[in-house]
């Protein structure tokens, strides 16, 4: 509800009821302020411009592949993929991608990249706090209901009743 309110997606009656609640509930007001802080941090994010000629280069590469006249060397063979090797290769590819991404960004943007990294860390910290609080509330509520259900079943179970009752 707070995210919808923050984004202006609530009806006026819902917004009024929520504003009344926020005036009395410091916890929800603090959570809304954290969401606003997260929005401010995300607003600082700057998109990198697409390099000139990228689309043409990709499409010419695709055209070259699609018009190839020689079949691939593995044509006619059945490839088997081993999950462990695939997972290893994907992990290596992800690690190399992250190294290239962060390394080239720092090299190209210098201090700006460092500031963006700090902003991302702040955004992740706020997100972690907000989701952690929500999960704590959800597990607490689930625990209450589970306890009630178990007690009701225990009271109804004949095995646990005393012989005279």
Which has the closest alpha carbon to 130: 44, 41, 36?
Answer: 36
- Nearest residue to 133 (alpha-carbon basis) of 30, 39, 41: 30
Length of the chain, in residues: 165
* Model confidence band, residue 85 (pLDDT cutoffs 50, 70, 90): confident
Element (H, E) at 135: helix 111-156
Is-contact 108 101, C-beta < 8 A? no
**151 vs 165, more confident:** 151
For residue 64, pLDDT beyond 60: yes
The percentage of the chain sitting over the pLDDT mark of 90, rounded to a whole number, equals: 5
Which token pair is 147?
Answer: 């306890």
On whether the CB atoms of residues 45 and 16 are closer than 8 A, the answer is: no
The secondary structure of residue 132, as a DSSP letter, is: H
Question: What is d(CA 123, CA 121) in angstroms, rounded to the nearest whole number?
Answer: 5
Question: Average pLDDT over the chain, rounded to whole?
Answer: 74
What are the tens digits of pLDDT across the range 94-131? Answer: 877 777 776 665 555 555 555 556 666 766 677 777 77
């Amino acid at each position: 509800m707070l995210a919808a309110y923050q984004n202006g997606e609530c009806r006026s009656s819902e917004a009024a009821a929520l504003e009344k609640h926020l005036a009395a509930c410091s916890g929800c007001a603090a959570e809304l302020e954290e969401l606003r802080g997260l929005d401010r941090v995300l607003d600082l994010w700057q998109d990198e411009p697409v390099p000139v000629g990228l689309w043409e280069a990709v499409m010419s590469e695709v055209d070259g592949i699609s018009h190839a006249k020689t079949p691939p060397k593995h044509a006619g063979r059945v490839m088997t993929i081993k999950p462990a090797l695939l997972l290893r290769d994907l992990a290596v590819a992800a690690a190399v991608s992250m190294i290239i991404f962060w390394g080239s960004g720092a090299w190209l943007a210098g201090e700006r990249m460092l500031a963006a990294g700090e902003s991302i860390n702040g955004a992740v910290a706020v997100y972690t706090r907000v989701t952690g609080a929500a999960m704590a509330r959800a597990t607490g509520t689930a625990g209450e209901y589970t306890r009630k259900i178990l007690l009701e079943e225990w009271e109804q179970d004949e095995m646990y009743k005393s012989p005279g009752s």
